[in-house]
Structure 1
C-alpha cells in the first residue's frame, strides 16, 4: 500500500490494517526536504489550548513487523528515518530494517537510525544503528521542522 503525502502539517491517528504487510509513505515531490513525517509518542500529553495530544488507546500487533525498507530511488531522494523516544511492541523484529527486493536496494545505503526507544521490541545491535546524544539533539521534530528558515509550527512554542 502506498500513501502519497502532500505538503502540509498533519496530526492524525492512522490505523494500519493487518492485511497490509508493507506501507509506504511517499512524499508528494522529488525533493526529500518537502515531506517530513514524524511519529510522536505523545499519547495523553497536554495540548496547547487544552485537551490532549495523541491517542488514548494503544496499538496491538500480533505479527513480526519491520520499521522500514528503502524504496527504489526514482530521483536523488534517499530515505531518512529516525525512530526515537518510542515504545516498541514485541512485534518489532530484532532486524527491523529490511532490503527492498526488486530492484534490489540495500537498507545500509540509506540513513535509518534509532534513539532511546523502549519496550520489548526495542534493542541495540548491529542491525539497529543508534544516534549519539549529540545527533539526537539535532533530530527532534521541532529542530527538523525549524530548518534553516526558522519556520515554527503553530502552537509549538
Structure 2
C-alpha cells in the first residue's frame, strides 16, 4: 500500500514532493501513499488513498498526488484527521481534483437534487487537514445546463477545524469556496496562504473563521454592466468576533469597473444571529470594485448591520467613501492573523511568529 515498499518510486516521489514544498520536505512529510492516474502509484484515485489512511491519526499522513486531472468526488471524514494532500507538480495547476455537480443537479438515485453542500467536489470533515500545491475545482457548466436554475456549485466545503491551504487554487463560479463549521455553535478555523480563489457570486462564504494571507481573489465577469457578483457572503455567528480576514491579497477581475461588490451578509434560514464579519486590510483592489463596495442580502438584510470594514488598502478600487467603512490603526490592531486563528489552543499555522 505505501510507497516505501517501492524504493525507486519513493525516491522519485519524494524528490517531486520536495519541489512542491519549496525544497522543505522533511522526514515526516515523506509520502505515506502516492496517487498517480497512470497506475504507477499506490492508488489511481485520491479518494482511494484517503480511504486507506489510518483513522484517528495524531500526526500527518501524507498523500503525494502526481500530476493529472482526478475527476472524482473527494470526502475526508471526521474520523481521519491529520491528512495532508500534496501535489507533486511544479505548479498548483498540474494537479486538478474536480467534479461538476451543482445545487440543482439531480441525484442518480432520483432522491432529488444535491443541494449546495452536496454539490461540493471536495468535502473536508477531518481536522488538521493540509493541502499544498494543487487545484480544487467545480466544473459545472452553467451555459450547458439552462434547465438547472439553482447553480451554486461548490469546489470545496470545509467543516473541520485547523485547516491549512498552501498555494492552492479554488475554481468555480457561484459558491466556489464554502468555509463552514460542523454546527452553528462551533468555530472552525482555516488558513489560506498564497492561494488563488476564483468565482462570481458569493464565492467565498460561510460561518468559519478564515484567514487569506497573500495570494489572489479573482472575480469572473457575468457579462453585466451593473452587477457582476459578490466576493464574500459571510454568515459569522454573532458571538464570534472573527469571520474572514484578507491581508496582502490582490483582488482582481475581468469585469467592468464598479460592477463587483466585496460582499454581502448571508443569513442562513434568515438567522438573525448570523452577523457576517469581513476585514480587508493591506491589500490591492482593482477598479472592478466601486464607491459602494458592500451590498444588502435578499430578505431585507442590510450590509450596514454586518461587520464589514477595510484598512490601508491600495489600488484603483481601494476607495474611501461613506459607504466603505474603514478601521483606524488603533482599532485594526486587534484584527491580526494571530487573533483570528489562535483560539483557545494557541493554533499557529504560520509558526511561532
Shared fold (TM-score, shorter chain, > 0.5): yes
Which secondary structure state, in structure 2, belongs to the residue aligned with residue 135 of structure 1? helix
1:95 aligns with 2:249: no
Q: State the shift of 1:41 in Å.
A: 2.4
Unaligned runs of 5+ in 2: 1-151, 189-207, 217-249
Higher relative contact order (CA 8 A, sep 6+): 1
Counterparts in 2 of 1:139 and 1:2: CA distance versus 1, 3 Å? farther
Q: CA deviation at 1:141?
A: 1.2
Task: Give the equivalent residue in structure 2 for 1:62.
Answer: 254
- 1:31–1:77 contact (8 Å) kept in structure 2: no
Kindly indicate whether the alpha-carbon contact (under 8 Å) linking 2:153 and 2:174 is maintained by their aligned counterparts in 1: no
Counterpart secondary structure, 1:10: strand
The change in CA–CA distance for 1:15 and 1:156 in structure 2 (over 3 A counts) is same
Map 1:2-151 onto structure 2 (within 5 A): 3=154, 4-7=157-160, 8-12=162-166, 13-17=168-172, 20=173, 25-28=178-181, 29-31=183-185, 33-34=187-188, 35-41=208-214, 60-63=252-255, 64-74=259-269, 75=271, 76-101=273-298, 103-151=299-347
Distance 2:251 2:323 in 1: 24
Unpaired runs of 5+ in structure 1?
Answer: 44-57
User: Which structure's residues are more often strand, by fraction?
Assistant: 2
Q: Distance in 2 between matches of 1:111 and 1:9?
A: 24
Based on CA coordinates, which of the two structures has the bigger radius of gyration?
2
Corresponding residue pairs, total: 140
For residue 142 of structure 1, give the secondary structure of its aligned residue in structure 2.
Answer: helix
* In 2, Cα distance between equivalents of 1:92 and 1:148: 36
Alpha-carbon distance, 1:24 to partner: 6.7
Normalising by structure 1, report the TM-score.
0.73
The range that moved more, 27-36 or 85-94, is 27-36
Give how far 1:33 is off: 3.4
TM score, norm. by length of structure 2:
0.35
SS of residue matched to 2:310: strand
Q: In structure 2, the residue corresponding to 1:39 is in which secondary structure? A: strand
